[in-house]
């Protein structure tokens, strides 16, 4: 029988790509989203991509009545939990909001799941849970730490789940630590769409490419890296989505929980990204060298070996796919593909 997955935050950036990957793998999916950071037309776009109606439950994690109602209305087999706040800088200004949404929201979800007898959960974590290190690549046993309220909420979430798992063997958690998600769906119909001036590198470059911003500020070119700019592990969002499908399948197959990095294992610099994007959009994108950004590390990337061993997961898309898919998305944004 087809299994039904509840996707909290399923209208957001990573959630929407995971929705498509789940439908392609034959699951039923119910999206639970309050649309606080998602466009209202995402469900219509998902229908265009998948060719099937989308089930959306508009609700907030902190609304226990709504959460219990969605479990009562659908026979849910497992949950993938994306609904959370994710801007590091904002979390420093608004820590209480982050604790409410990311920690209280997780607790509300766990409670509703327990009440409904649903005990499989895939959780969005982040490489920000690792302490600052110069030992690369970063594997799952690397020391932990947090440099922002956002990172604290992700680490707290992991630790809450570890203790809940220890309380009852029925629970199984797939904890996925993302490195730097980037890129867009190959259809060009969904992608990252931050409000205002983006904080992250790829959406910022995308706005330079569309002419909405004049030039990229490169935050430091005197790091101890080959070209002096910061290096990160950029993972294509469609690869990341596939990682969630594999994590979910392992939980549903009764293989127990896991805690894994999702990355490529390769670091690329800010300059690599800018040059690759310039090729994708067909013109040299302007940049200026700016001071280092507070809190930034020179370089880090994942050790992806454990995700390969446990789930058979390997990222298959590279920097060029990331940049071409992003450009394909931003240049046609607002266009539903009918013209």
CB of 205 to ligand UDP, least distance (A): 8
Nearer to ligand UDP, 150 or 171 (CB): 150
- From the list 37-45, 55-63, 210-218, 258-266, the region that binds ligand UDP by CB under 6 A is 210-218
Dihedral over Cα of 123, 127, 129, 135: its sign: positive
CB of 258 to ligand UDP, least distance (A): 24
* Binding residues among 227-246 for ligand UDP as defined by CB under 6 A: 230, 232
Give backbone dihedrals phi and psi of 299, rounded to 5 degrees, phi first: -160, 135
Nearer to ligand UDP, 127 or 259 (CB): 127
- CA atoms lying within 13 Å on the CB side of residue 295: 9
Question: H-helix or E-strand containing 182?
Answer: strand 180-182
CB of 287 to ligand UDP, least distance (A): 9
SS3 content of the chain, % helix, strand, coil (to 5): 40, 20, 40
Residue 140 near residue 162 (C-beta atoms within 8 A): no
Task: Give the three-class secondary structure for 174.
Answer: strand
Residue 217 near residue 125 (C-beta atoms within 8 A): no
Residue 7 near residue 19 (C-beta atoms within 8 A): yes
Binding status of residue 87 toward ligand UDP by CB under 6 A? no
Binding mask 130-169 for ligand UDP (x = CB under 6 A): ----------------------------------------
In the chain, DSSP finds a helix count (H) and a strand count (E) of 12, 13
**Six-digit token pair at 290?**
């700016």
Nearer to ligand UDP, 133 or 335 (CB): 133
Give me the catalytic one of 19, 130, 150, 204: 150
CB of 126 to ligand UDP, least distance (A): 9
Binding status of residue 217 toward ligand UDP by CB under 6 A? yes
Binding status of residue 221 toward ligand UDP by CB under 6 A? no
Nearer to ligand UDP, 248 or 271 (CB): 271
Tell me the C-alpha distance between 231 and 271, whole Å. Answer: 9
Binding status of residue 180 toward ligand UDP by CB under 6 A? yes
Active site residue 27: no
Give the nearest residue (CB) to ligand UDP: 230
Please give the sequence-ordered ranges of beta strands (E in DSSP) within 86-145, or none if there are none.
Answer: 120-126
With CB under 6 A as the contact rule, the residue among 4, 200, 275, 308 that binds ligand UDP is: 200
Tell which residue, 98, 118, 101, has the closest CA to residue 110.
Answer: 118
Binding status of residue 177 toward ligand UDP by CB under 6 A? no
Residues contributing to the site for ligand UDP (CB under 6 A): 180, 199-201, 204, 216-219, 230, 232, 270, 293, 296
Catalytic residues: 150
């Amino acid at each position: 029988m087809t299994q039904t997955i509840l996707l909290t935050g399923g209208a957001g950036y990573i959630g929407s790509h995971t929705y498509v990957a789940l439908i392609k793998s034959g699951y039923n999916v119910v999206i639970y989203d309050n649309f606080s950071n998602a466009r209202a037309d995402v469900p219509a776009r998902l229908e265009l991509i998948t060719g099937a109606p989308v089930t959306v439950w508009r609700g907030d994690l902190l609304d226990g009545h709504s959460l219990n109602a969605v479990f009562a209305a659908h026979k849910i087999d497992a949950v993938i939990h994306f609904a959370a706040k994710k801007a590091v800088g904002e979390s420093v200004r608004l820590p209480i909001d982050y604790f409410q949404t990311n920690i209280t929201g997780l607790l509300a979800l766990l409670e509703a799941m327990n009440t409904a007898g649903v005990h499989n959960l895939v959780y969005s974590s982040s490489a920000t849970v690792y302490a600052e290190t110069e030992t690369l690549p970063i594997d799952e046993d690397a020391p932990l730490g947090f440099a922002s309220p956002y990172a604290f909420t992700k680490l707290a979430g992991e630790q809450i789940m570890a203790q809940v798992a220890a309380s009852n063997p029925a629970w199984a958690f797939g904890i996925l630590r993302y490195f730097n998600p980037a890129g867009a769906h190959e259809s060009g119909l969904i992608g990252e769409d931050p409000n205002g001036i983006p904080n992250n590198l790829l959406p910022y470059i995308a706005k330079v490419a569309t002419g909405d911003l004049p030039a990229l500020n490169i935050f430091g070119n005197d790091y101890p890296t080959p070209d002096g700019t910061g290096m990160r592990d950029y993972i294509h969002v469609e690869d990341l989505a596939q990682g969630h499908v594999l994590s979910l399948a392992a939980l549903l197959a009764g293989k127990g929980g896991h805690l894994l990095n999702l990355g490529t294992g390769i670091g690329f610099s800010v300059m690599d990204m800018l040059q690759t994007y310039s090729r994708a959009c067909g013109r040299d994108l302007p940049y200026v060298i700016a001071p280092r950004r507070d809190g930034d590390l020179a370089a880090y990337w994942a050790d992806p070996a454990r995700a390969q061993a446990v789930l058979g997961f390997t990222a298959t898309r590279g920097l060029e796919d990331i940049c071409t898919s992003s450009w394909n998305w931003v240049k046609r944004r607002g266009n539903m593909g009918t013209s």
